[in-house]
Each structure stands twice: as C-alpha cells, then as structure tokens.
Structure 1
Amino acid sequence: METLEAIHTRRSIRKYTDRPVPRELITELLRAAMSAPSAVNAQPWVFIVIDDRKLLDEIPTYSPYASMCREAPLAILVCGDTTQEKAPGHWVQDCSAAIQNLLLAAHDFGLGAVWTGIFPMTDKVKGFRKAFGLPDHVFPLGLVPIGYPAQQPGSQDRYREEKVYHNRYGQKKDLFRD
C-alpha cells in the first residue's frame, strides 16, 4: 500500500473478528511505532501489549469509550516515560506520532485499529495506572485496540478549504490558482 493511500483510507475500526494477531505482526507494528519522530530523538515511549482476555474485558470499566476491547484480540497501551525526555513536555507529541505510525502500519497489514484517548483525563489515567502497575513517571496516553476488522467503513475526503489560511490566520487565498 502506498503512503498516501494508507493515510486516506485508514479508518477507526471498532468491530473485530476473533482471529488472533500473529506475534510477528505485533513486532512489526511496534517497530513501526518506534520509528516515529521524537523531540531530540529521546523516544520516551513505553508500550504494553495486552492480549489477556480478562484484562481486555476489564478495560471498559475504567475507560468506557474503549468498549471494543471486549471484542479485540489485542490492544497496545502507549505510554510516555517522563524520565526519558530530553525536551520536557514533548512526550505527548512523541507518543502521538508513535500511535499514528501504529495505526497506519495496522491498516497496511489488513488489521483494524482505533485510538482511544486516556491522557489527560485523570480518571482514565488512574484506572490504567492501577490496572497495569504504571509508576508515577509513566503516563498512559492512548490505548489502541487491534484486530482483524469485522467492518469496512468507506474512505472519505476530509480536506476542508475553510480550514486553510495563507500566511496569516484569517487570510484566505485560493492556493490552486495564480
């Protein structure tokens, strides 16, 4: 799959078959995530691969918008380790880039995935900290349930001209005409 095709056709998938994701594929997903850019190349991310059915089924009790975990054969918890930062405060951006790479790689492999947010919602952070034994310097940013898709949402063109300004906020110019 070409890069732009992956970007334009990737969609959030919330329904999965029960087919397990092979370990080799999980390693490739993590390899893609860890290839993301990070401030000063600090790579302050930590990944927890969750495939224990009991743990997956419990996640919606402290993260209600992650109910698809009850179907997903796998989820990856993406966290930022603030002790690994070289540019304080950038762990959120770094881990977000890793999540985007993870989502695109999953799509490329024919898997479905969805980014469910955790940080900065204190109740969710607390739930994930407790469930996965995270120390105080490790912050859960997002959870990505992954599996073979049991749904096929169509692609959409999301480009919106009204969200584009030229050189200055509020200044419009047709970028496609001289």
Structure 2
Amino acid sequence: MRQIAVAVHSNNVPGLAEKVERFVEALARRCPDAVLLVGGYWGHMKEVVDAALRRGLRVVAVLPIEREGVELPPGAVVIRSGCEYRCRSVIMVRSADAVAVLGGGVGTAIEAFMAYAMGKPLFVLAGAGASTDRLREAYPEYFDERRVVKVVYVDDPERLAELVCAAEGGAAASFG
C-alpha cells in the first residue's frame, strides 16, 4: 500500500480540473491500492477526492482546525488535525511515501518544500497554470545545495501518476 500526498490548489485554476482528473484516473490504473492524502475538501482538493473515490481509491483528508467542519463524502477518512493549515500539511506530507504537486499557490509550494526537506520523493506537474509552475525555473533539480531529493518535473498528468506509483521512499532522484 502506497500513501501519496496530493498537493493542489485550494481554489480553482482554469484548466487544472481536467489535469487533476487525468492524474487520478492514471493513478487508479497504475496503483489501485494507493491511499491519497489530501489537506481538505474544497477547490481542486475536492476534485481529487471525488475522482479518487469514484475509482475506488482510498482517501484520507487531514483537515486544518479552521475547516474541520467540512463534510466529506462517504468512504473518505477524515482526520481532524487540531492544527492550522501549515501544521496539517506537516502531518499529510510526513505520512506520505511520495508527494505529487498538481499545481497551486503558496500553500502547495510549502508542501513541496516540506516534502523536499523530509526527503520524500517529490513530483511536480509542470504547466499547471498555477504559481508552482515557477518552481521549475527557480529550482530545476534541487531546492538547495544539500541535494536532498531531485525534484522531478513532469508535463503530463498520466506520466506523473506513473512516476509517483513507481517511487520508493527517498528514491525520487532516480526518476527524470
């Protein structure tokens, strides 16, 4: 069983919903035993949850204290973290075997940096139309001189799912 944190925008980015759908569909084909970890049920996170549950994937939502009352669909596991947004992200990323960044703003970028700092295999969808698209330009391979894990940028959501499914803990550097 692979636990995959999916970091994605909490609002709506034009064109990203279709990429989210393609990623989840490919993920369900490639690793049907995967458990997706998300940080909520709004914006594109809601699309990840709904698409995953439709395809029989297991979903765990680690909710921040500010949004603990959000209703999730049957089948989703809810963790009321008691933490604010960034703290809940630590729980989500720390619990993951790999992290897929599908596109987002500063919160999604923070989750990418957390994954890097924790040595988690880190895969970023390039061309998502979100602020995280700038990560590739600023950090083409590594976020700093420690070279903890190679950040893998992928333009295609299906290829991203394939790489995430194949990732072993700490082995992101072998993909590209």
Q: Where on the TM-score scale, by shorter chain, does this alignment land: which range?
A: under 0.3
Structure with bigger RCO (C-alpha 8 Å, 6+ apart): 1
TM-score by length of 2: 0.25
